[in-house]
Amino acid sequence: MRRGMRAGVLILWTVLVAVSVISVADEPKELKDAFASRFRVGAAIGTHHTMGQEPESLALAASQFNAATPENLLKWQAVHPAPDRYQFEPADRFVAWGEQHGMFLVGHTLVWHSQTPRWVSQGTDQKPLDRDALLDRMKGHIETVVGRYRGRIQAWDVVNEAIDDQGRLRSAVPEGGSPRRFAPWYSPIGDDFIEMAFEFAHAADPNAELYYNDYNEWFPAKIEAISGLVRRLQSKNVRIDGIGLQGHWGLDYPKLDEIDHMLTEYGKLGVKLMVTELDITVLPSASNGTSADVNARATGGDRLDPYRDGLPDAVQRKLADRYAAIFGLFVKHANTIDRVTFWGVHDGHSWRNHFPVRGRTDYPLLFDRRLEPKSAFSAVVGTVRP
């Protein structure tokens, strides 16, 4: 090689190294900073976190995210286990931690057909309660829980998963259909149980943002039903600030154009959109398909748990590509998306390891079991790299 040519190659190599060093150094290290001009980025915080059992991953959450949702500790069964007993300690700790770190705090969730104790729908004689008695229960619960954190928890998932996959309200009495549609404490109230819950929440904290939250939110029947619900509440002047789209997705569902379409459709309603429980399973589907219904269970074997000893590079790349494509859409719709929250901090504590088959090894989040960022982290951050 002639001397001039050698010098040219050397200069080119030096420039390439410098560019790659600069771009790695430039890559934001924190999700909240990377997306600061687009939307908040949050995580679900577990009860084990607030009770001090995983300080390292809680510190990771404090550094990466600017919004937090308690994964379980504000559900009715956790916070209000018996008619005259509330259990606030874990939630008090969660709120104190969130305030310490300047987090936008989201209360999850006030009205849900699941994780609600049986006594809620029954009198002391175990007989079903009527509409007025149930509304009293709902009101008392919401007043007490929202009231306690008035001005400190900024937003609430007021009603969770009240519409089934066919677009029917779960207050509808089943006619030989799936009994899971039937929520014993919604039906006696009637179809206005959602609007009543929003009214009670608004009265308990007039400044809190109020959301409706659901899964399988890209299903056409759900787009229609959730949009109809929002319009109904708006037409009655019932406060609703946003729709929570859970986002428990997989490597190949929903399709990108389905996500794009649903964000466009919900974006027409004039309310904020939040992706509230994002995680992407890499595991093969069990028999229940794409449902995030927590009551579903499946049994599996090795075929359903193929990555116990680690995630192959090819699947790691697939996950990173999938996350990049999805965040590309979130960035595209950033004018309507207010927040994207991951359902967990790291892979080791994700509910996905236990649903719908218990004890599998899944890799659905951006941080691995050693709390290291995965290639999916860089892929996500890369969607907003200048």
Indicate whether 351 belongs to the interface with ligand G3I (CB under 6 A).
yes
User: Which of 69-77, 218-226, 235-243, 376-384 is the region at the interface with ligand G3I (rule: CB under 6 A)?
Assistant: 69-77
Indicate whether 246 belongs to the interface with ligand G3I (CB under 6 A).
yes
Tell me whether strands 209-214 and 104-112 are parallel, antiparallel or unpaired: unpaired
Q: Which residues ranging from 159 to 178 are in contact with ligand G3I (CB under 6 A)?
A: 160
Are the C-beta atoms of 204 and 147 separated by less than 8 Å?
yes
Beta bridge partners of 358: none
User: Which of 18-26, 71-79, 121-129, 363-371 is the region at the interface with ligand G3I (rule: CB under 6 A)?
Assistant: 71-79
Indicate whether 294 belongs to the interface with ligand G3I (CB under 6 A).
yes
* Dist. CA 296–CA 375, nearest whole Å: 31
Q: Which residues ranging from 194 to 233 are in contact with ligand G3I (CB under 6 A)?
A: 215
* Dist. CA 152–CA 98, nearest whole Å: 9
Query: Is 30 tagged catalytic?
Result: no
Contacts by 302-306, CB closer than 8 A, 24 or more apart: 304/357, 304/360, 305/357, 305/359, 305/360, 305/361
Distance of CA 330 to the CA centre of its chain: 14
Q: Which of 36, 72, 92, 148 binds ligand G3I (CB under 6 A)?
A: 72
Contacts of 147 (CB under 8 A, 6+ apart): 204, 205
Both structure tokens of 372: 């290291």
Whole-number minimum distance, CB 222 to ligand G3I, in Å? 14
Indicate whether 54 belongs to the interface with ligand G3I (CB under 6 A).
no
- Number of residues this chain uses to bind ligand G3I (CB under 6 A): 11
CA 99, 102, 103, 107 torsion-angle sign: positive
Chain position whose Cβ is nearest to ligand G3I: 351
Indicate whether 158 belongs to the interface with ligand G3I (CB under 6 A).
no
Whole-number minimum distance, CB 295 to ligand G3I, in Å? 9
Whichever of 71 and 368 has its CB closer to ligand G3I, that residue is 71
- Which one of 54, 71, 161, 209 is the catalytic residue? 161
* Dist. CA 274–CA 318, nearest whole Å: 24
Whichever of 246 and 383 has its CB closer to ligand G3I, that residue is 246
Indicate whether 288 belongs to the interface with ligand G3I (CB under 6 A).
no
Q: What is the DSSP letter of 174?
A: P
Whichever of 38 and 80 has its CB closer to ligand G3I, that residue is 80
Q: What is the DSSP letter of 82?
A: B
Indicate whether 156 belongs to the interface with ligand G3I (CB under 6 A).
no
Both structure tokens of 18: 């410098």
Indicate whether 296 belongs to the interface with ligand G3I (CB under 6 A).
no
Indicate whether 277 belongs to the interface with ligand G3I (CB under 6 A).
yes
Q: Which residues ranging from 107 to 126 are in contact with ligand G3I (CB under 6 A)?
A: 115
| 83 upstream amide cis, omega within 30 of 0 | no
Distance of CA 379 to the CA centre of its chain: 20
Contacts by 176-179, CB closer than 8 A, 24 or more apart: none
SS3 of 277, please?
strand
Q: Of 322, 10, 87, 317, whose CA–CA distance to 330 is shortest?
A: 322
Query: Is 99 tagged catalytic?
Result: no
Indicate whether 304 belongs to the interface with ligand G3I (CB under 6 A).
no
Q: Which of 71, 164, 209, 338 binds ligand G3I (CB under 6 A)?
A: 71
* Residues found near ligand G3I in the complex (CB under 6 A): 71-72, 75, 115, 160, 215, 246, 277, 292, 294, 351
Residues serving a catalytic function are 161, 277
